[in-house]
């Protein structure tokens, strides 16, 4: 029960921070959500099947211990889901960036392309934030060493640094391009 309260409070904090100056709907770009969510989930369904993925997600949210074998299997399925969501976010970033570069002269198309570019990375980070603790918990339930858990170490930090670096370089590229057009 405590885990659910902590999860709800953390999601509430994110929503409150994201909607402090603007409406939360600016973060709900449908193409970005389809790109990351649908692509990531359907690739994972193709790899493991619909029912095992849903079972793994349910096990990740459950606080009761599971059998060692099923916890290990569920952790591996969630690793696949996390990896496909992150890869879909990276791919969405590149697609949005290509759309931005293609339509540099048309501000009407440039804004939505930049939204796809930046928000797919944001949605992938949310997936990382949600799935990594679930994977670690399932790994521990399976009897694994917590320090050897699949989400332990620098992976999450590296993803965040790479996404922020890519977003910053895209923004600087856009500013440079727009600055040269205004001159």
CA distances from 118 to 26, 90, 168 (A): 12, 10, 10
Residue 9 within any structural domain of the chain: no
Average pLDDT of the chain? 82
pLDDT score recorded for residue 163:
76
- In sequence order, which ranges of 62-154 are alpha helices (DSSP H)? 68-102, 107-141
pLDDT band at 148 (very low <50, low <70, confident <90, very high): low
Which domain, by its residues, includes 92?
A: 28-182
Residue 146 within any structural domain of the chain: yes
- The tally of domains found in the chain comes to 1
Residues 122/143, Cβ–Cβ less than 8 Å: no
pLDDT score recorded for residue 181:
62
pLDDT score recorded for residue 108:
82
Residue 7 within any structural domain of the chain: no
Distance CA 183, CA 180 (A): 5
Residue 20 within any structural domain of the chain: no
pTM reported for the whole predicted model: 0.78
Residue 18 within any structural domain of the chain: no
Residue 19 within any structural domain of the chain: no
pLDDT score recorded for residue 117:
83
- Paired tokens of 72: 């290990």
Residue 98 within any structural domain of the chain: yes
- pLDDT tens, residue by residue, 102-138: 887 787 888 888 888 888 888 888 888 888 888 888 8
Residue 131 within any structural domain of the chain: yes
pLDDT band at 78 (very low <50, low <70, confident <90, very high): very high
């Amino acid at each position: 029960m405590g885990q659910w309260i902590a999860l709800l409070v953390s999601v509430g904090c994110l929503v409150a921070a994201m909607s402090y100056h603007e409406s939360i709907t600016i973060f709900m770009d449908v193409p970005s959500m389809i790109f990351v969510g649908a692509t990531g989930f359907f690739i994972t369904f193709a790899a493991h099947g619909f029912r095992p993925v849903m079972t793994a997600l349910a096990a990740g949210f459950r606080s009761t211990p599971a059998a060692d074998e099923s916890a290990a299997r569920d952790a591996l399925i969630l690793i696949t889901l996390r990896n496909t969501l992150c890869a879909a976010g990276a791919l969405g970033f590149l697609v949005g960036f290509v759309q931005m570069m293609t339509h540099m002269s048309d501000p009407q198309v440039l804004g939505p392309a930049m939204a796809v570019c930046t928000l797919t990375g944001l949605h992938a980070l949310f997936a990382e934030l949600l799935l990594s603790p679930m994977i670690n918990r399932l790994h521990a339930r399976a009897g694994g060493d917590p320090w050897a858990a699949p989400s332990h170490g620098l992976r999450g930090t590296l993803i965040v640094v790479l996404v922020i670096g890519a977003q910053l370089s895209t923004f600087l590229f856009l500013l440079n391009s727009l600055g040269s057009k205004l001159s």
